[in-house]
């Protein structure tokens, strides 16, 4: 038995630039996930730093902030059975070179830095990330 969960996903700036918003979202929907919130935004560097605050000590934190604020992104909340792990499976490994064939990152991403898509990695992350972008009124659960 799996629980109904919500998870936060982002089509990152390289995904928007490469015109694969529809491809990414289509994969989530075909897998049975429901989009319950979605918008396009352009984060500042400090917005991106706040979103990725868990990585503040990592060597790539500065570049990650720069990349995530380099252009608009599409942020969405996905709902469904086991949504957190399912979304991660559809995304593939962080490094596209190690991602399983048929995953978003294997098919579309160019590098471990610029890897097209984000998905919450745990219930705790989702609980931080969803309200980072969406108020309760912007989430349209079924």
**Interacting residues with Mg ion (CB under 5 A):** 121
118 classed as catalytic: yes
Nearer to ligand UDP, 45 or 94 (CB): 94
Q: Which does 125 bind (CB under 5 to 8 A by kind): ligand UDP, Mg ion, none?
A: none
**Around Cβ 100, how many Cβ atoms within 10 Å?**
10
Report the residue number, 69 or 115, with the smaller CB distance to ligand UDP.
115
Q: Which of 55, 98, 118, 140 is catalytic?
A: 118
Residues at the interface with ligand UDP (CB under 6 A): 60, 64, 94, 112-113, 115, 118, 121
Is the four-CA dihedral 93, 97, 102, 104 of positive or negative sign? positive
State the nearest-atom distance from the C-beta of 15 to ligand UDP, in Å.
11
Within 10 angstroms of residue 95's Cβ, the number of other Cβ atoms is 13
- Return d(Cα 104, Cα 134) in angstroms, integer: 24
By beta-carbon proximity to ligand UDP, the closer residue of 46 and 141 is: 46
Q: Whose CB is nearest to ligand UDP?
A: 94
Q: What does the alpha-carbon distance between residue 122 and residue 82 come to, in Å, rounded to a whole number?
A: 11
Q: Are 85 and 75 in contact (CB under 8 A)?
A: no
Contact between 118 and 10 (Cβ < 8 Å)? yes
Beta carbon of residue 33, minimum distance to Mg ion (angstroms, whole number): 18
Query: What is the length of the chain?
Result: 142
Q: Minimum Å distance from CB 66 to ligand UDP?
A: 10
By annotation, the residues acting in catalysis are 118
């Amino acid at each position: 038995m799996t629980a109904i969960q919500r998870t936060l996903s982002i089509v990152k700036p390289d995904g928007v630039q490469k015109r694969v918003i529809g491809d990414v979202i289509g994969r989530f929907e075909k897998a049975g996930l429901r989009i319950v919130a979605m918008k396009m935004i352009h984060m500042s560097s400090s917005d991106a730093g706040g979103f990725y605050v868990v990585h503040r000590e990592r060597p790539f934190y500065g570049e990650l902030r720069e990349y995530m604020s380099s252009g608009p992104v599409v942020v969405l909340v996905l709902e469904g059975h086991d949504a957190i792990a399912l979304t991660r499976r559809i995304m593939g490994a962080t490094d596209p070179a190690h991602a399983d064939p048929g995953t978003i990152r294997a098919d579309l991403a160019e590098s471990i830095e610029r890897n097209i898509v984000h998905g919450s990695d745990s219930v705790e992350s989702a609980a931080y990330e969803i309200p980072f972008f969406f108020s309760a009124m912007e989430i349209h659960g079924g």
